[in-house]
Amino acid sequence: MSAMLALYVREVRLAVRVGGGALMGVLFFLIVVSVIPFAVGPDLNLLSRLGPAVLWIGALLATLLGLDRLFEADRDDGALDLIAGSGQPLELVALVKALAHWTATGLPLVLAAPLFSLFLAMTPETIGSTMLTLLVGTPALTFLGSIGAGLTVSLRRGGLLVPILILPFCIPVLIFGVSASTAVQFDPAAFHTPFYLLCAVSLVAAVTGPIAAAAALRGGLD
């Protein structure tokens, strides 16, 4: 257990220090959100209606684009082989690494979302619901993404391949996340069903993601 805690602390530290790129995701998120009004026009009513969808798309892309380094950096310097050979179950390692990655890159996205939602003229209820769905949903994106990161760990140019492989599996997260966020605008009671489904998707992803990622890593390591 203490080994896992040490791994978690190490991962978070590596991510937030220079060269870790933890805040790069938030910056990318900001840029996606501020580019959308140029594409759809500065109509505040329209932006307010699209707001949750825009935030979700931004968070999805920001999460997926940062994922190719999840295992790659550790593989390049040999740390991954040491971790794999330490006798700890690889599934647990993948889970802890994904959790640490989410703490460093996913959580800032959730915290930044209310600020960025002001650009999109969103109402307070929608801001709250969007933040809540992002908090529950972005871990699912990281767990699913860890499968892609595991699959492409041994590749030189795996960068664009991870989003291609993983985006289809993120569609349920996006559907339930956006429908729960937007439901609040019309009927607060309609929030619960998609929100609970989103929680379920996250829990399933927390189990299947690390198992599949560990299976993929075993294939890539030997």
- For residue 158, state whether it binds other proteins (rule: CB under 8 A): yes
- Closer residue to other proteins, CB minimum distance, 31 or 155: 155
- For residue 67, state whether it binds other proteins (rule: CB under 8 A): no
- For residue 147, state whether it binds other proteins (rule: CB under 8 A): yes
**Nearest one of 117, 134, 136, 125 to 184, comparing CA atoms:** 125
Q: What share of the chain is helix, strand, coil (3-state, %, to 5)?
A: 85, 0, 15
Interaxial angle between packed helices 24-40 and 44-65, expressed in degrees from 0 to 180 and rounded to the nearest 10: 150
Least distance (Å) from other proteins to the CB of residue 4? 23
Scan residues 161-180 and list those touching other proteins (CB under 8 A).
161, 164-165, 167-169, 171
Go through the chain and tell me how many residues it has. Answer: 222
CA distance linking residue 10 with residue 214, whole number of Å: 19
Least distance (Å) from other proteins to the CB of residue 152? 8
- For residue 70, state whether it binds other proteins (rule: CB under 8 A): no
- Closer residue to other proteins, CB minimum distance, 24 or 171: 171
Total residues interacting with other proteins, rule: CB under 8 A: 22
- For residue 208, state whether it binds other proteins (rule: CB under 8 A): yes
Task: Give the type of residue at 187.
Answer: D
- Closer residue to other proteins, CB minimum distance, 60 or 112: 60
- For residue 56, state whether it binds other proteins (rule: CB under 8 A): no
CA distance linking residue 199 with residue 176, whole number of Å: 9
Of positions 103, 129, 133, 152, contacts other proteins by CB under 8 A: 152
- Exposed (0-12), middle (13-18) or buried (19+): which is 151, by Cβ within 10 Å? buried
Residues 6 or more apart in contact with residue 170 via CB below 8 angstroms:
60, 64, 140, 141, 144
- For residue 89, state whether it binds other proteins (rule: CB under 8 A): no
- For residue 109, state whether it binds other proteins (rule: CB under 8 A): no
- Closer residue to other proteins, CB minimum distance, 112 or 174: 174
